[in-house]
Chain A
Amino acid sequence: MEADPKIICFACNWAFPEWEIETPPDVGVIQVKCIGRLDPIIVLESFAQGMDGAIIVGCKSPDCHFIEGNLYGERTIRLLKKIMALAGLEPKRLHLELVSPIENKSLPSIVEKFIDEVKNLGSLFKGEEIDEEILFNIQAAKQAVVWSRLRMLSGRERKLTEKINVYGEKIRQEEFDRLVEEVIEEEYLRSKIYLLTKSKPASVEEISERIGVDSFLVLQHVVALRRKGLLGMDRIEGYTPLYRALEVG
């Protein structure tokens, strides 16, 4: 029989004042001040530590205790789902539930349903150890959300799509989503390259083989990473340059 999935509920402190009493006991609870506080790193790191699924409970607008922290939180979750899909983690493992204090929604039933869903997906752990490939992917996803490009873009999403950018233009949501999609893919790939070369210097060919991406594309990202000062040439073996990740700061 399959073991129960490990599920964490990230709950906004204000969304469910009495919710502790109502949650099924086998779900771990982490209370946060606002779902806007939820750093994507935290969620991804939880997956790396063996969490199988996360349910995030926040407040519906306009009930956010911090006025619009929930709106930022919502966008972070959207970003996370996209990057999880790339990393081979089913986005369904992340569930956002926005509640309003006046609704009296039954949280246990939502959680039960979510547990069942995660059960169907199966555990990320094979025995005691997490699948190495998945772990590497999660680490890469983590690296991608640490770097400033995605954070900057996602943090500005509301301003760009709801207000105007510095050129006085308003960007349509679909357009923005497409842009984010592109950037996520790029950043995720770059993170993988970065992490790979961190442990051991590697050539473009080797990297391409290891992550299963066309070597021309890898070269492009290697160039981009070098420009950012994140990657450096370690040495040349024969005619092949080997690259190594550089410590930042």
Chain B
Amino acid sequence: MGKFKEAVEVIRGDLPFPAICGRVCFSPCEDACSRINIDQSVAIRSLKRLVADIEREQGKVTAKPIPKKYDEKIAIIGAGPAGLAAAYELAKLGYPVTVFERMPEPGGMMRYCIPDYRLEKFVVKNEIDYIQDLGVEIKTGVEFGKDITIDGLKKDGYKAIFIAIGAQLSAKLNIPGEDLEGVIHAVDFLRALALGKQPNIGERVAVIGGGNTAIDAARTAKRLGAKEVMILYRRSREEMPAHPWEIEMAEKDGVKFYFLVAPKRIIGKDGRVKAIECLRMRLSEPDETGRRRPIPIPFTEHQYEVDAVVPAIGQVIEASVLPPEIIGKNGLIEVNPITLETSIPGVFAGGDAVTGPASIIEAVGAGKRVALSIHRYLRGKSLEEEKIEETTWVKDWRSLEKKKRRYESPVEKPHLSFEEVRAYLERVQRAARFEALRCLGCGPCAECLMGIDLCVKDKAVVDEGKCVGCGLCTEICPFGAISKNENGVAQVNEELCKGCGTCAARCPKEAITMENISNDRILSAISNVLAGVV
């Protein structure tokens, strides 16, 4: 229908970052897309990006401030995806919200650790501006633990506090030579670049680790002019936590991968990195968690001559700034799983600081849940009354990877520049419409309810008293959603049913009806139309 603007509004109802997530999200929504059972998922992420970009091209997106309904001030520590999402939700509910951020610009990892070629800074800025337009106050350059404390904020009249500090510190390798010049941790490396500094990485760079951060660091190093960039990972390719498409892109950029190697020590000369010594590994049989552990093979030491070593083996939270009583056994903040409240009343936590390093969309989800919990807390409602619903994630997304639609055009010329990869969809709006038409309207991901009332989820319902078990519907259903149960009565598999109504229109005993768009509803629409038609 070409309602691009309305589409963005629909997305924004739930997610304040359509343009950001449209670029860098790993799109678990597409894993859950029903269309994946037929051919390929709908390219939800690409469509999100397209509508957000079209909106932006039509001029700067601004929002009107939301009138304050409540007096209770809320402090959010950390302007990353979790903190901003919570601020967005709370502002929409009508609370005065202040977000405190240590860095000069808000955005957290989105702003500082995702390289430009994946996510340009102005995209992040635009979406944060939108949140500020709504009336959220963001104070940058304020350091938690130094400039502000929990007690101080409480004294200043903040009634609820959300700690969303993320996991900012890079995990140490704990091998000799880690303090040599030329060892720069991936998040520090990316952050330095985002702050406009030029880290000296030389010509040959070894990135250690197999996650998305490692890939980002390697591809960035390549773009900075390093001749040889290698990723050293102690397991094999299959075990890499990085997303497969990221790995592919890195390979296209010319990043080399060395699997089953682990660093043993970093060798320096005159205080600077000269080489890295590694051990070969082999994989154990899968342990009880199903993961194969790397085991060092003795006497396989070998060296790579490098100018810089970039460890990217995970991030940990800065526990030193937090009150020790809220830290759990695993070094992360411990919260009540239902209320997301820490052991200090009125202080909530969520995002990477609670889960360990994860994704933007998981942080947004955490932020939203915390916002709801804070709302209940401030309104004096029981926090434990009902659990805040959490989206279930498709666990085995790797197996579904091939069935996802990706619209990234093959990177042509600006292969190694910071110029953002242009999405194919952006140029081809018509293609986008047809892509959107592939949606089955089955409902779990979105019920936009725009314009036509056919976007609502519909499903076939069997009246067991009427069904005579003729089996016609089981033959008809294009999706194989209907089968007979042990009593010989038709039963509908709700996950497979797409609500097309082909069975309901043919059931010989009128035992199948559509839950939402029933015959009666269509007929009343018809009488309205007939009464109106001259």
Contacts and interface: CB of A to CB of B under 8 A. Distances in A.
Contact of B500 (A28, A69, A155, A156): A69
A152 to B, nearest CB: 5
A41 B452 CA distance: 23
A68 B478 contact: yes
Contacts of B2: 18
A67 B504 contact: no
Interface residues of A, number: 49
B108 to A, nearest CB: 39
A67 B38 contact: yes
A148 interface: yes
B448 to A, nearest CB: 13
B522 A36 contact: no
A160 to B, nearest CB: 10
A37 B504 contact: yes
B526 A36 contact: no
Given A4-B534, A13-B452, A28-B532, A146 B510 contact: yes
Given A28-B532, A33-B458, A39-B519, A8 B501 contact: no
B437 A65 contact: yes
B493 to A, nearest CB: 15
Interface string B81-110: 000000000000000000000000000000
A26 B533 contact: yes
Given A26-B533, A67-B38, A49 B527 contact: yes
Interface in B21-76: 38
Interface size class of B (residues with CB under 8 A): 35 or more
A238 interface: no
Interface string A140-182: 0000001111011011100100000000000000000000000
Contacts of B475: 155-156, 159
Contacts of A40: 505
Nearest to A76: B505
Contacts of B434: 101
Contact of A46 (B437, B441, B530, B532): B530
Interface string B513-533: 010010100110111011011
B13 interface: no
A82 interface: no
A36 B502 contact: yes
B502 A37 contact: yes
Nearest to A41: B519
Nearest to B38: A67
A178 B527 CA distance: 35
Contacts of B139: none
Contacts of A205: none
B437 A30 contact: no
A41 to B, nearest CB: 7
A14 B437 contact: yes
A50 B500 CA distance: 27
Contact of B476 (A13, A26, A155): A155
B interface majority secondary structure: loop
Contacts of B523: 42, 45-46
B443 to A, nearest CB: 12
Contacts of B510: 146
A221 B514 CA distance: 34
Contacts of B498: 66
A28 B530 contact: yes
B239 to A, nearest CB: 38
B501 A36 contact: yes
A127 interface: no
B1 A67 contact: no
A246 interface: no
Contacts of A26: 533-534
A51 interface: yes
B205 to A, nearest CB: 49
Given A14-B437, A66-B478, A154 B529 contact: no
B148 interface: no
Contacts of B351: none
A28 B38 CA distance: 34
A12 B5 CA distance: 24
A34 B508 contact: no
A23 interface: no
B507 interface: yes
Counting chain B CB atoms within 10 Å of each CB, which of A26, A37, A147, A152 scores highest?
A37
Contact of B504 (A17, A39, A147): A39
A123 interface: no
Interface string A171-205: 00000000000000000000000000000000000
A197 B529 CA distance: 33
A26 B533 CA distance: 6
Contacts of B509: 148
Interface in B209-260: none
**Nearest 5 A-B pairs (CB), nearest first?**
A148-B508, A37-B501, A28-B529, A36-B502, A66-B500
